[in-house]
Structure 1
Amino acid sequence: MGNLLRVLNDKGGSVPKVNLFVDFEKAQPTDAEKAVYEKVAAVLERAPRIIDELGGYTGAGEQIREAISKPSNEDTQEKAWNAVRPLVLQLKTYYEFCTELETALTSILSVLCSADMTAMSHLEMHQALTKQLAEILDFSLKFDDLKMNNPSIQNDFSYYRRTMSRKRLESNDQPRTTGAASNSVEGEVDMRDDVANRMSLFYAHPTPLLNALSATTKRFVEMHSELPLENTTDCLSMVACVCRVMTENPNYYTRFENEETIYFCLRVMVGVIILYDHVHPVGAFAKNAPIDIHKSVKVLKDHSQKTDGLLNALRFNTKHFNDEQTPKATKTLLSS
């Protein structure tokens, strides 16, 4: 493959020694990838706009505080409600986009984890889909970081739900006129209760999208019982190793046209380690895991000016970091 250099695949230990260049900047789909690639691309093309919007999300905190402090003032109540409703519709759009990403991830895993070739061969033959997997993980880390650092998101949605419940109760208490709508507040309902419930659970999680993608990956494994678990975990661990090697080795990272691609690789490495840790029964921190956590942490610390959040993600968003079986040296390394 012109865009990929496969130098060595020597599994001398539990961690595969892999030198592999995947062109995350320019990889194009082969004919075999095109059907899945185009469906996923139609979803991912909206990702930059959503990150920009979420980054500029200011919320309705001022109006909500005013309404809470003056509960009998109808004007302040109406101002808060009118401020919150369009914001909640934005949050609904982001939630729906994230559910589309879950579907996209499943489509990609169906190809990259299929039994017809090894994980290494899949990355070699399906670079464009590997790039899209990386883009989903990159988006998820950016999305979750913006959400986690913006309490207005949960505050706005909580206020919306409380106000909607109150309006329904008030409407039910009012006498009904013959021929009138059974519930006058229904004209203000922006979503069904089941959607609101799912959104509430989604946004309540500190890192909602990574949590959702982890659950999606586990469901993929459960639904494809004909595939050995190793098909999925080998794919994830191989992507993690490739991302690490490409940021360690100047023969590879000097081939990037954009320096930001290095940080893209680091975000993807962390995202895929988190997925692996949630899917594998023992996790990514076990001594015999096929991911070199120590080298992964080292490369993050080598770029510490932009990776503090990624180190925290490994500590707080993984499933097995605090297990007794996690080596003490690993815990010390990540905590220092």
Structure 2
Amino acid sequence: MFSWCVGVLLCCGWCLRFMGNLLKVLACSDLEHGPIIFLDFEHAQPTEAETAVWNQVSAVLEEAHGILAELQSYNGAGQEIREAIQNPGDLQLQEKAWNAVCPLVAKLKRFYEFSLRLENALRSLLEALTSPPYAPMQHLEREQALAKQFAEILHFTLSFDELKMTNPAIQNDFSYYRRTISRNRLNNQQLEAENEVNNEMANRMSLFYAEATPMLKTLSNATTKFVSENKTLPIEDTTDCLSTMACVCRVMLETPEYRCRFTNTDTVLFCMRVMVGVIILYDHVHPVGAFAKTSKIDMKGCIKVLKEQPSNSVEGLLNALR
């Protein structure tokens, strides 16, 4: 009888320890293990409760692939601009450069306008993923399709900025366009292109493209604005959402049982971009940032995961963190 009681007590003690550890892991407070959750970035589908926001964001994301393809094939008008600058008296070369630059500036305007739609989409997702009464982990478990869309926005953002940073033609083309507009305005001439990109629009676009990472800057500003405008929503609701997603991404990347569930090899890079994106957003929004000792993001663990990947696939991500 005595041995049976001891056995029951030991069993109960083990159960209590197990439940305590499980709750601690689920709360993402134990950064060594991370949360027991798998975000299905490949196949998540919206539930009925998610449908309204999902449809709104989906309409924006449908454009994202086309935007990236256009940016990837952006070659610029460098040759035409050089010839026009070297031969200022040759009107044919001036016209040739102008005709080469105008369609490119129209394309840059589309990219900028897309950033504004992306900003609105992010706001809708933040509202859905931080609304009470659910905690961040519960939101991610319940609304996987919205979490996937949030991840897709971050993936697009870092992909766009990586392409922009390696293409100096964008700044050169837009600078030439603005110089030409200013010169013609001084000569009391108005060009047709001004009807599409007027001075006010050109100023906003100039600020956008002056940023090293313009899309990420847009999302960072949008997240900060979301926090400041929602006075009744504690800032922790937003920062915890970001830190939890960073934690989930890190665990999925470093845990073989989770990583083997990816059916597409591109999902690994997708997951890394998402992790870096939410870290940067967290760093902009949280009062002390992502790199402070009190941060809820395991920065050492996240950087370790990145450095374990092939250097050619993560160099841009590490630079973004730097």
* Residue type at the aligned position of 2:245: V
Contact 1:10/1:16 (8 A) holds in 2: no
Alignment partner, residue 212 of structure 2: 206
Q: Deviation string for 1:30-73 (max 9, x for gaps)? A: 11110010011011011111111101100000000111111111
Q: How far 1:17 sits from its partner (Å)?
A: 3.0
* Residue type at the aligned position of 1:160: Y
The answer to whether the aligner puts 1:269 opposite 2:275 as a matched pair is yes
Q: Give secondary structure in 1 for the equivalent of 2:131.
A: coil
Q: How far 1:85 sits from its partner (Å)?
A: 0.2
The answer to whether the aligner puts 1:40 opposite 2:69 as a matched pair is no
The answer to whether the aligner puts 1:260 opposite 2:257 as a matched pair is no
Between the aligned partners of 1:18 and 1:283, the Cα distance in structure 2 is 21
Indicate the structure with greater helix content. Answer: 2
Q: Which runs of 5+ in 2 are unaligned?
A: 1-22
The answer to whether the aligner puts 1:216 opposite 2:211 as a matched pair is no
Q: How far 1:187 sits from its partner (Å)?
A: 3.0
Between the aligned partners of 1:42 and 1:11, the Cα distance in structure 2 is 33
Q: Deviation string for 1:251-287 (max 9, x for gaps)? A: 1111111011011000100011000000001000111
Between the aligned partners of 2:28 and 2:215, the Cα distance in structure 1 is 33
The answer to whether the aligner puts 1:308 opposite 2:315 as a matched pair is yes
User: 1:1-336 residue pairs with structure 2 within 5 A?
Assistant: 8-12=25-29, 17-170=34-187, 172=188, 185-189=190-194, 190-305=196-311, 306-315=313-322
- Structure-2 change in CA distance of 1:16 and 1:193 (3 Å): farther
Between the aligned partners of 1:308 and 1:152, the Cα distance in structure 2 is 22
- Structure-2 change in CA distance of 1:224 and 1:14 (3 Å): farther
Q: How far 1:144 sits from its partner (Å)?
A: 0.3
Structure 1's consecutive aligned runs of 4 or more residues displaced over 2 angstroms after TM superposition are 10-17
Q: Give secondary structure in 1 for the equivalent of 2:36.
A: strand
Q: Deviation string for 1:282-328 (max 9, x for gaps)? A: 0001112110001101100111331111111100xxxxxxxxxxxxx
TM-score (normalizing by structure 1): 0.86
Q: Give secondary structure in 2 for the equivalent of 1:307.
A: helix
Between the aligned partners of 1:22 and 1:205, the Cα distance in structure 2 is 32
Q: Give secondary structure in 2 for the equivalent of 1:46.
A: helix
Q: Give secondary structure in 1 for the equivalent of 2:269.
A: helix
Contact 1:9/1:16 (8 A) holds in 2: no
Between the aligned partners of 1:12 and 1:185, the Cα distance in structure 2 is 61
- Structure-2 change in CA distance of 1:312 and 1:110 (3 Å): same
Q: Deviation string for 1:159-210 (max 9, x for gaps)? A: 001101111221x2xxxxxxxxxxx625331222211111000000000010
Q: Deviation string for 1:105-132 (max 9, x for gaps)? A: 0000001011221000000111111000
Q: Give secondary structure in 2 for the equivalent of 1:272.
A: helix
* Residue type at the aligned position of 1:91: L
Between the aligned partners of 1:215 and 1:31, the Cα distance in structure 2 is 30
Q: Which runs of 5+ in 1 are unaligned?
A: 1-5, 173-183, 316-336
* Residue type at the aligned position of 1:147: K
Q: Deviation string for 1:79-126 (max 9, x for gaps)? A: 000000000000001111111000000000001011221000000111
TM-score (normalizing by structure 2): 0.89
Between the aligned partners of 2:207 and 2:111, the Cα distance in structure 1 is 14
Alignment partner, residue 319 of structure 1: none
Contact 2:28/2:244 (8 A) holds in 1: no
- Structure-2 change in CA distance of 1:210 and 1:15 (3 Å): farther
- Structure-2 change in CA distance of 1:53 and 1:12 (3 Å): closer
Between the aligned partners of 1:88 and 1:208, the Cα distance in structure 2 is 16
Q: Give secondary structure in 1 for the equivalent of 2:287.
A: coil
Q: How far 1:8 sits from its partner (Å)?
A: 3.9
**Structure with bigger gyration radius:** 2
Between the aligned partners of 1:198 and 1:254, the Cα distance in structure 2 is 45
Between the aligned partners of 1:139 and 1:158, the Cα distance in structure 2 is 25
Alignment partner, residue 7 of structure 2: none
Quick one: percent identity of the two aligned structures? Answer: 57
Between the aligned partners of 2:69 and 2:193, the Cα distance in structure 1 is 28
